[in-house]
Chains A and B, each alone.
Chain A
Amino acid sequence: MAATAHNAKVMNRFELTKRLVAQLKRDEAVIGGIGNANFDLWVSGQRPQNFYMLGSMGLTIPIAFGVALAQPDRHVVALEGDGSLLMQLGCLSTIAMQAPKNLTVVVWDNGMYQITGGQPTASQATTDLVGVARACGLSNSAWAADEDEFDTLVANALRGGPTFIAARIDDKPGVGTTDRDPVQIRERFMKGLGVRK
């Protein structure tokens, strides 16, 4: 039986990020959302197929979807926070309608706008983001009950999607910070995707 938000284990974003990256064996692209999703992705190892957002809160999933459309043979993973997703919930409907097989969305849900001072998000009390994703039409949506199930959900997602995975996480801040040179980040990403030589 799949976990619900209520009984999913509270895990750690950096630990889960490392677990996810460890499963990427085929140069999968990863889009890191602004703030801590990005920071933990950065410290997990700066793969050339990683893109680190510096602004445009809420656009992690649309950017990932754009990459997925451009490169249908490459799997793309979006790492997004609960606050950012709540800002752009409509993108879940768009993705569900288009149903890209090569897209996985991972949401780190700590129930707060952590980077701005820990103000509560709607997911802390009332909004179940997996329920939202399912209702938008992403039938393959689940809470990760614990670390092992997170690994299994990611492994299944990389075989074909679209998939929506949510993980409850603690209030630990990101373990580092990204460089903040957007042209360098974008150029390195394009080389990592084989678009640039």
Chain B
Amino acid sequence: MLSVPGGQWLALPTSKIFTRSKAFRMTETTPAPWHEIVRERLKANEVKLVPYVPDRVFTPLIKALHADDYFTTVPCTREEEAIGIVAGAWMGGLHAAVLMQTSGFGTIPNALASLVLPSQIPALIFVSERGTLGEFNLGQAMVCRTMRPVLESLGIEHHTITRHDELAFIVDRSIKQAIATQAPVTFILSPLLTGGKVFAA
């Protein structure tokens, strides 16, 4: 069950893996992984369309959305293409969220400034944060530094989500706010939440 607000985690039945040893048996429930919470909150807010550009860290979320018939998933060749799809879908009455990684965000300021903002499109933008907390690629680290200044300069609401227990609340409330105020919102999913991508030596 998920309680919003209140901070109670989305809970799934106790996994069988925990029943193999009494020492590890869990008497209550295991918190749902972050991607299940995102999927559930999208569904709860009738966000049915998800165009995306792939990202390693987002892979479990993308797989879950593909596997769920509720969602229409559209792999895109470029992030601003996904933004265009979100804009068209919303004007046609369909709520949509877009998934990308930090470097992809670096390609969309023109689409935000010349389409989403002037037309008041409530684009829901999920960014897998690269470039920090153990980044091994200087290119990712540099582009990461541009993301929040761009969001600030455009006046776009954005949340960096680091805590599992705040994820459902932030996503749920912010989707509702975006739609109610016809303004975009960006969710930056920190490695603190997702685990991030680590260098494989």
B81 engages A94 (CB within 8 Å): yes
The answer to the question of A62 belonging to the interface, with a C-beta cut-off of 8 Å to chain B, is: yes
B110 engages A62 (CB within 8 Å): no
CB-CB under 8 A from A56, the residues of chain B are 80, 83-84, 110-111, 114-115
The interface bits of chain B over 104-120 (1 if a CB of A lies within 8 angstroms of the residue's CB, else 0) are 00000011011100111
| B49, closest chain A residue (CB) | A69
B92 engages A185 (CB within 8 Å): no
A190-B91 contact given A65-B85, A90-B78, CB 8 Å threshold: yes
A193 engages B88 (CB within 8 Å): no
A195 engages B86 (CB within 8 Å): no
CB-CB under 8 A from A195, the residues of chain B are 91-93
- Kindly specify which of A47-55, A116-124, A125-133, A165-173 makes contact with the partner chain: A47-55
B residues 1-57 touching A (CB-CB < 8 Å):
49
The answer to the question of A22 belonging to the interface, with a C-beta cut-off of 8 Å to chain B, is: no
**In the bound complex, how far is the Cα of B84 from the Cα of A58, in angstroms?**
9
The answer to the question of A12 belonging to the interface, with a C-beta cut-off of 8 Å to chain B, is: no
The answer to the question of B99 belonging to the interface, with a C-beta cut-off of 8 Å to chain A, is: no
Interface size on A, residues (CB 8 A): 39
From the candidates A31, A54, A64, A90, name the one contacting B118 in the complex (CB within 8 A): A54
From the candidates A59, A93, A194, name the one contacting B115 in the complex (CB within 8 A): A59
A69 engages B85 (CB within 8 Å): yes
From the candidates A57, A66, A182, A185, name the one contacting B88 in the complex (CB within 8 A): A66
CB-CB under 8 A from B113, the residues of chain A are 55
**In the bound complex, how far is the Cα of B96 from the Cα of A55, in angstroms?**
21
| A58, closest chain B residue (CB) | B80
CB-CB under 8 A from B93, the residues of chain A are 70-71, 190, 193-195
Interface size on B, residues (CB 8 A): 32
CB-CB under 8 A from A93, the residues of chain B are 77
The interface bits of chain B over 55-93 (1 if a CB of A lies within 8 angstroms of the residue's CB, else 0) are 000000000000000001011111011111111111111
A183-B77 contact given A31-B88, A66-B86, CB 8 Å threshold: no
Residue among B72, B80, B119 having the largest count of chain A Cβ atoms under 10 Å? B119
**In the bound complex, how far is the Cα of B49 from the Cα of A53, in angstroms?**
22
From the candidates B83, B86, B120, name the one contacting A186 in the complex (CB within 8 A): B120
**In the bound complex, how far is the Cα of B94 from the Cα of A174, in angstroms?**
32
From the candidates A58, A68, A183, A193, name the one contacting B120 in the complex (CB within 8 A): A183
| A192, closest chain B residue (CB) | B91
Residue among A56, A60, A68, A94 having the largest count of chain B Cβ atoms under 10 Å? A56
A63 engages B87 (CB within 8 Å): yes
The answer to the question of A67 belonging to the interface, with a C-beta cut-off of 8 Å to chain B, is: yes
The answer to the question of A39 belonging to the interface, with a C-beta cut-off of 8 Å to chain B, is: no
Listed by A's residue number, 5 A-B pairs whose Cβ atoms lie within 8 Å are A53-B115, A55-B115, A58-B80, A59-B81, A90-B76
4 closest residue pairs by CB, A with B: A66-B88, A55-B114, A70-B92, A90-B77
Q: Which A residues contact B (CB, under 8 angstroms)? A: 29, 31, 51, 53-71, 74, 88, 90-91, 93-94, 97-98, 182-183, 185-186, 189-190, 193-195
**Known pairs A54-B115, A60-B84, A186-B91 / 13 extra A-B pairs, C-beta < 8 Å:** A31-B88, A51-B91, A53-B115, A55-B118, A61-B84, A63-B84, A66-B96, A67-B88, A69-B92, A70-B92, A71-B93, A74-B92, A94-B77
